Amino acid sequence: MTTLTESHFFQRQRSNILYIGLIFFLVLSIPYDPNLFKDTSFGDLLSLENWFALATYRSSFIPESPLVGPDVRGYYNWAIALGLALLLFLIFGRKLKQAFRVDDETVFYWLRVLLRYRLALAIICIGLVKIIPIQLPEPTISELHTEYGDLLLWKLYYLTNGIATAGYLPVIGALEILGGLFLLNRRTAVIGSGLLIAVLLNVVIVNYVYEIGEQVYSSFLLLLAIVIFSYDWPRFYKLLIRKTATIPDGFWPVYGPKIAAVRPYLQALFLLLIAVFSVQAYLSWKNSNYPFPEEKGLDDAAGVYNVKDFVWKGDTLAYSLTDSIRWKDVVFEKWNTISIRGNRPVKVDSLRPRIAFNRERNYEYLGNGGREFFGYSQKKGTEKQQTTIKLRGKVNRDHTFSFVLRRTDKRTLLLDGVNQRGDSLHVRLEKINKKYLLHEGRRKPIRIY
């Protein structure tokens, strides 16, 4: 009787590959990211931004670009981690094997434990901010009055999905949470990893196509799911493709007394972290204006205004499609933001739309090249004093205005003041009674299922 043994490279080097893989993922699991420690405010430990940043951290020996686009420098960190893993294994590999004295199945089990909880923590938090509309909120008035071609690709994708009524975004979020919860149990980990491979493959493609800027991190999460799924892939291959008899997984982990005693508490702590983030995300959405500024704007002023009169340095400028000074229209948001559309070039803020470190609440003007955004402070007047507002550009901080504001009626605002150069301005704004079909809805709603 002849016994056939597999002698290909991966079979012969399986033990070494597992140890190198374990070191590789341990290196990539070190929370080293200059931005993480630079921008995380430990004085506000329970903030949504801090929780999300810690749950979705990445190792960045080489800092990734903070801008949207097809930047792939983050993959260099994978190469650095692999180089470190190979170097450490060459130096300490034999000592590691002698110290642990475990078989390959045990090494692969603990590698999967690391990846399961690493992936579950990140993907559940990512799914929660999709179900709770934090990551992709509905369009603002300014965005509804921005021409299509003036928005960056990622903003178009966010706005399109933010108004979707077929439940696309909540379904994706629910699948991510479901996959993450399946990862928490060894018996269902293969189901969770397979589900997440299908979801994350779509996420990676979307990041590249719409230049969202998170293609490296989404690829890392996809890699984790693939490695977890790879343990059961031979059995799936034999059962579904070769259609032959398949022996189920017979490995059963054996824990030492210390690990067996601590393990339930660690699992409870993990679930507690997920619960705390869920509550924090819900409260941030319910009780605040996240991701938009908190400070309220002028009373009963929200809406879009036509610029009826525009007097600059005493000279009345007629409406023009080419004049770089005159304004076309002005939007007052419900919060203290004003956006102005004109003919002058607008500097586009191309920062990535990240929840982490978003304390400036900058989502509203990111990716918008058609309007200039201003934050403003107001000093309400009395019977003898007039109301004043001071505008400061959110992208171009040097662009400022100081106005005295008067209201002749509910629809008309008069602004008299100067810009940062001291040029005098008189602007008469007339509110447009605008109804948006997006809010009005269809007379006969379309049913797609």
Residue 52 · residue 217 · CB < 8 Å: no
How far apart (Å, rounded) are the C-alpha atoms in residues 183 and 301?
49
Calculate the average pLDDT of the chain.
88
Cβ(330)–Cβ(340) under 8 Å? yes
Decide: 85 and 16 in contact? Cβ < 8 Å. Answer: no
Peptide bond into 291 cis (omega under 30): yes
Task: Say whether pLDDT at 364 is over 80.
Answer: yes
> Which pLDDT band, with edges at 50, 70 and 90, does 129 fall under?
very high
Predicted confidence (pLDDT) per residue in 388-412, tens digit: 999 999 999 999 999 999 998 889 9
pLDDT value of position 39: 54
Q: Does position 155 have pLDDT exceeding 90, yes or no?
A: yes
CB 372 within 8 A of CB 342: yes
| List of long-range contacts for 180-184, beta carbons under 8 Å, 24+ apart | 180/119, 180/120, 180/121, 180/123, 180/124, 180/127, 181/120, 181/124, 183/116, 183/117, 183/119, 183/120, 183/228, 184/116, 184/117, 184/120, 184/267, 184/270, 184/271
Please give the Cα distance from 220 to 282 (Å, whole number). Answer: 27
Burial of residue 106 (number of CB atoms within 10 Å: 0-12, 13-18, 19+): middle
Classify strands 400-407 and 424-431 as parallel, antiparallel or unpaired. unpaired
pTM (predicted TM-score)? 0.90
pLDDT at 5: 43
User: Is the four-CA dihedral 223, 227, 232, 238 of positive or negative sign?
Assistant: positive
- pLDDT tens, residue by residue, 297-339: 999 999 999 999 999 999 999 998 889 999 999 999 999 999 9
Query: What pLDDT sits at residue 2?
Result: 35
Residue 350 CA to residue 365 CA, distance in Å, equals 10
Strand partners, 339: 331, 373
**CA–CA separation, 321 and 164 (whole Å):** 33
The larger pLDDT score, comparing residue 449 to residue 78, is at 78
Percentages helix, strand, coil for the chain, rounded to the nearest 5?
Answer: 45, 15, 40
In terms of average pLDDT, the best of 33-37, 101-105, 232-236 is 232-236
DSSP code of residue 296 = B
pLDDT at 168 over 90: no
What residue type is 69 in one-letter code? G
Contact predicate 142/331, CB 8 Å: yes
CA distances to 174, 283, 310, 314, 395 from 323, rounded to whole Å, are 49, 46, 12, 16, 22
| C-alpha separations of 279 from 126, 173, 276, 283 in Å | 14, 16, 5, 6
**Rounded to whole angstroms, how far apart are CA atoms 124 and 130?**
10
Whole-number pLDDT of residue 271: 93
Phi, psi angle pair for 249, to nearest 5°: -65, 125
d(CA 278, CA 217): 22
Q: What is the pLDDT of residue 250?
A: 80
87: enclosing H helix or E strand: helix 75-100
Closest CA to 31 of 58, 65, 62, 64: 58
Q: With CA atoms as reference, report the closest residue to 369 among 64, 155, 66.
A: 155
